[in-house]
Chains A and B, each alone.
Chain A
Amino acid sequence: MIDWTGILITIVKIVVVIGGLMTGVALMTLVERRVSGVIQFRWGPNRVGPFGLLQPMADGIKFLMKEEIIPRDAHRPIFILAPALSMITALAAFAVVPFGPTIELFGRPIDLVILDLDGGILFAFAATGLGVYGIVCAGWSSRSKYSLMGGLRSSAQMVSYEVALALSVVGVLAASGTLRPTVIVEQQAGWFWNWNALGGGQILGFVLFVIAGFAETNRLPFDLPEAESELVAGYHTEYSSMKFAMFFMAEYIAMFTISSLAVTLFLGGYHLGFPLPFEGLPLVALQVGTFMLKVGLFMFFFVWVRWTLPRLRYDQLMDLGWKRLFPLALANVFLTGLLVTFEVI
């Protein structure tokens, strides 16, 4: 009665996804520093191992061995809970991202997605929405002025840009007629002009999603809540060692989530962009590789923008979110509605 094989397959998928994410995060710490070095005309870390490839391992050992300091006046239970909350919500959003098509193994079809929910995109938004709690808890429980200010600013920023994020996706949902990520990706099969950002008419939605995504992950140019020159380190000022590492990892995982969602919704998901003559397992492997490549390119874009654009002041940030992105997202919904009604897309 209980589908043990199905449960085992799901567990394997979860392990693979989390393992892949953690490896990706470790790699990103190095990639970010090397790419920043290239942009700033200096070497990044290249001493530890060939091309600095063992640097993440060294960082990990450092984080594990450092002394954990918890401020005396901090509210201990919530102080310890906050990084865990950040990690959990960041990882949870990955459950609905499809990273490959359906394959046949052991006589049963396996979709390469952990949870093929009917309202999959809503699940992703729920998980990113809950991500604010980690920041709020961290900011308040540290009982420090910098942390509180950083926590307040960051949570207000995230909540404001969630509106633009969700609205920019409504266009895709209207054009696709479904909330299932797998179906949305399938509708972008074939040539690359089928992708939602290009031929699907969602270019405005794509731009809005990317900008809002940058703000959701507290990355430059929207990183005032954790800017060094302003707030020491914002909401994670008082955190040291492994708890800080968890916040750090949670931020990178959130970046991966936004990249994956953008790729799934706007850039054709795991599809190659041109049809190939062969079928079966090699095509699946190629498609999974394509997905990872697209997400990787997006992450590179994150780092690129970080060192290209100046930081927005907080009131400029809120201004952008409410007075410019929100009306533009509404206009996008309206336009997409027109296009769908007259059967253009």
Chain B
Amino acid sequence: MELVAFVVLTTLAFVSGVVVVVHRNQIVAALSLAANLVAIAGFYLLLQAQFLALLQVIVYAGAIMVLVLFVIMLLNLPDEAHRRGGGRVQGGLGLILAGAFVVLLGLAIARSGDGGFASTSGGFGTVESVGRALFTRFFYAFEAISLLLVVAMIGAVLLAKRRL
């Protein structure tokens, strides 16, 4: 059962990822990225990290991607132009290089030993466990990131203003 879900999610993630990287229409690419993010949330659910799966959908798929779509529609961006010359040879070599990169990473992963999944204590991934860790051990990081969000908000508003 888990295996079926894993295969479906992997297919969804990779197909939507390829569409993001390849498709020339930016809105289709953005929507496909949203699908990719939902697939990643599915992966988190498979790993029993429920809180983060929900956060992924709310923050990433529900807010960030909507912002990206909004900007694309606001600026009325056309389809991306063709890639400049370099031709098939360069493209082919690039793909081979990418494949080599994946193989390299795969080798590193395979050699990292055979640690299976630990059996969870039942509280893994729940809101309470993550919240408890967030507000006790990672408290300073939490406050720092709140500050970062405020700075980012002010920065974004100022940068996008028409007249300061």
Contact = CB atoms under 8 A, between A and B. Distances in A.
Do they bind each other?
Answer: yes
B25 to A, nearest CB: 8
Contacts of A122: 51, 54-55, 58, 127
B63 A159 contact: yes
Interface in B54-83: 54-55, 57-58, 61-63, 66-67, 69-70, 73-74
B31 A133 contact: yes
A152 B55 contact: no
B27 interface: yes
A130 B127 contact: no
Most B CB contacts (10 A, CB to CB) among A122, A126, A162 go to A126
B40 interface: no
Contacts of A179: 127
Interface residues of B, number: 21
B65 to A, nearest CB: 8
Interface in A139-158: 139-140, 148, 151-152, 155-156
Contacts, number: 63
Interface string B16-31: 0000000000011001
A155 B54 contact: no
A294 to B, nearest CB: 26
Interface string A55-78: 000000000000000000001001
A129 B63 contact: yes
A140 B62 contact: no
Contacts of A130: 57, 61-62
Nearest to A135: B66
A118 B127 contact: yes
Interface residues of A, number: 25
A182 B131 CA distance: 20
Interface in A82-127: 117-119, 122-123, 125-126
Contacts of B31: 78, 133, 137
Contacts of A132: 62, 66
B34 interface: yes
Nearest to B59: A129
A184 to B, nearest CB: 13
A261 to B, nearest CB: 15
A321 to B, nearest CB: 15
Nearest to B74: A152
Contact of A155 (B28, B55, B69): B69
Most A CB contacts (10 A, CB to CB) among B57, B126, B127 go to B127
B50 interface: yes
B35 to A, nearest CB: 10
A152 B73 contact: yes
Given A78-B27, A78-B28, A179-B127, A129 B70 contact: no
Nearest to A85: B31
Most B CB contacts (10 A, CB to CB) among A118, A151, A152 go to A118
B57 A139 contact: no
Interface in B86-139: 126-127
Contacts of A263: none
A31 interface: no
Contacts of B51: 118-119, 122
Interface in B35-57: 50-51, 54-55, 57
Contacts of B55: 122
Given A118-B50, A119-B51, A129 B58 contact: yes
B57 A152 contact: no
A162 B55 CA distance: 14
A136 interface: yes
Contacts of B127: 118-119, 122, 179
Contacts of B74: 152
Nearest to B41: A126
Contacts of A117: 50
Identify the 9 closest CB pairs spanning chains A and B, nearest first: A129-B62, A126-B57, A122-B54, A126-B58, A119-B127, A119-B54, A118-B126, A136-B69, A132-B66
Interface of B: 27-28, 31, 34, 50-51, 54-55, 57-58, 61-63, 66-67, 69-70, 73-74, 126-127
16 contacts: A78-B31, A118-B126, A119-B50, A119-B126, A122-B54, A126-B58, A129-B61, A132-B62, A136-B66, A139-B73, A140-B69, A152-B70, A152-B73, A152-B74, A155-B66, A159-B67
Interface of A: 75, 78, 117-119, 122-123, 125-126, 129-130, 132-133, 136-137, 139-140, 148, 151-152, 155-156, 159, 162, 179
